[in-house]
Structure 1
Amino acid sequence: MPITTFVFDAYGTLFDVNAAAMQAAKDPAHADLAAVWPAVARDWRLKQLQYTWLRAVAGRHCDFWQVTQDGLDWAMEANGVIAMATRTRLLELYWELAAYAEVPAMLTALKAQGKATAILSNGSPDMLNGAVSSAQISDVLDAVLSVEDVGIFKPHDRVYDLVGAHFGCTKDEVLFVSSNGWDAAGAAGYGFQTAWVNRAGEPIDRLYAQPHHVLHDLTTIPELT
């Protein structure tokens, strides 16, 4: 079955989650980040994800903005960053994360092929709309789907169900793309074709399914039709 619908995770896949800490660290007003921003960015992302999994398992859902703040607070404390002004600035920047350089051209190429395109993310609708607007890619996306519609985080099947419910497509018509190995595995186990964008060159996760494609970036996504 040809791929008709290309669905992308947002954070770390289309949008660079390290961009907020990197940008804030360049500002002399946030000199406390200068030496530790890579560790802050890494720990922030790790805790953000861990908190989604733990909340899903425990049945204690909250929106992604809450786990984003909680993850940042942990990361700042772990790395000795205490300035509240720095916290405020990092959170502001998270609403306008930079898209990876290849994203606009890649999405434009998919639309030129007549493909449907969407985001499927843990992010709350407001956060996602802010990032999409900031990156100026709304005109090459057909939908922005959020886990808030089902009240549980990925990789629960109810999240992946949102794609078929919105587009009326079958699972084998979907290519799901994520920079998170666990998310690509979850989507593959669900029945989607999947591509893992392995920018860091990590090993494949030992889970119940594996991605069908492993890529270094998003450039060649339009070739996977």
Structure 2
Amino acid sequence: MTIKTCIFDAYGTLFDVAAAAREAAAEPGNEALAGIWPKLANDWRLKQLQYTWLRAVANAHCDFWEVTQNGLDWAMEAAGLSDDHLRQRLLDLYWELSAYAEVPAMLAALKAAGMQTGILSNGSPAMLDGAVQSAGVGDVLDDVLSVESVGVFKPHKSVYDLVCKRFGGTPDQVLFVSSNGWDAAGATGYGFQTVWVNRAGEPVDRLPWTPPNILTDLTTIPELAGRL
């Protein structure tokens, strides 16, 4: 079945979630973060995701900005950091995450090939709008879909349902791309064609579904989409 729509997770897939901690660590006055920012960034992201899963199974939804703040608070406490100014700076930078270097050209190539493009994310609409505008990729995205319209986080089926409701077609006409192995696995089980962007070289998650395509970055997505 020909791919008609390419859908991307946002955080960690198109946008570099480590950028906030990395940039803050390089700023004067944040020397306490300089030597530990990679661990803080990793802890922040892990807790952010864990809280989405726990809220989903507990039917205790909140928007992604709340779990983003909760995750940062846990990561800062674990690192022994108690600095309200630093906390606010990290949160401010999260609204301005940079895109990975290959993202603009990759999205432009998909559009040039006549494909629909979009984001499907746990992020709140306001957060996603900030990231898209900051990265300058709004003109190569047809839409940005947030879980807030269904009130539950990924990998709930109702989140993946949003794609075909918005873009039409069938799940096997969608190429879904995520840097989260669990997200790519969930989308595979849903019926999408999938790619796991495994930038860190992590092991495959032990789940009922395995994404059939694993890449180290997004550069060859247009080529892959054209072959499927």
TM (normalized to structure 2)?
Answer: 0.98
SS at match of 2:52: helix
1:144 is matched with 144
> In the alignment, what sits opposite 1:91?
91
CA RMSD, 1 decimal: 0.5
* Structure 1 residue 106 displacement after superposition: 0.1
**Displacement after TM superposition at 1:212 (Å):** 1.5
**C-alpha distance in 1 between matches for 2:151 and 2:83:** 33
- Any unmatched runs of 5+ in structure 1? none
SS at match of 2:175: strand
Q: In 2, Cα distance between the equivalents of 1:97 and 1:29?
A: 21
Q: 1:212 is matched by which residue type in structure 2?
A: P
Correspondence 1:222 to 2:204: no
Q: Equivalent pairs: percent with the same residue? A: 71
Aligned partners of 1:5 and 1:127: how far apart in 2?
A: 23
Distance 2:41 2:218 in 1: 22
Matches within 5 A, 1:70-81: 70-81=70-81
Q: Is 1:135 the counterpart of 2:124 in the alignment?
A: no
Tell me which residue corresponds to 2:9: 9
* In 1: Cα distance, 2:134 partner to 2:169 partner: 29
Letter in 2 for 1:54: L
Please list, as runs of the form range in 1=range in 2, the aligned pairs for 1:76-225 lying within 5 A after superposition: 76-224=76-224, 225=226
**1:36 Cα deviation from its structure 2 partner:** 1.0
Query: For the residues of structure 2 that align with 1:142 and 1:201, how far apart are their CA atoms?
Result: 30
Distance between the aligned counterparts of 1:159 and 1:208, measured in 2? 19
Q: Secondary structure at the match of 2:85?
A: helix
CA apart distance, 1:81: 1.1
SS at match of 2:29: helix
Q: Which residue in 2 is equivalent to 1:55?
A: 55
Greater displacement, 24-33 / 159-168 = 24-33
Q: Secondary structure at the match of 1:189?
A: helix
Secondary structure of the residue aligned to 2:158 is helix
2:124 maps to amino acid = S
SS in 2 for 1:29: coil
- Aligned amino acid, residue 213 of structure 2: H
| Aligned twin of 2:41 | 41
Deviations along 1:137-180, one digit per CA (max 9) or x if unpaired, are: 00000000000000000000000000010011210100000000
Residue number in structure 1 paired with 2:28: 28
Letter of the aligned partner of 1:88 in structure 2? Answer: Q
C-alpha deviation, 1:184, in angstroms? 0.1
TM-score, length-scaled by structure 1:
0.99
What is the CA deviation profile of residues 119-154 of structure 1, one whole-angstrom value per residue up to 9, with x for unaligned ones? 000000000000000000000000000000000000
Aligned-residue offset at 1:32: 1.7
- The whole-number CA distance in structure 1 between the counterparts of 2:80 and 2:117 is 41
Report the Cα distance in structure 1 between the residues aligned to 2:75 and 2:139, rounded to whole angstroms: 35
Q: 1:29, CA displacement in angstroms?
A: 1.8
The gaps in structure 2 that reach 5 residues or longer are none
After superposing on structure 2, the runs of 4+ consecutive aligned residues of structure 1 that deviate more than 2 Å are none
Q: How many residues align?
A: 225
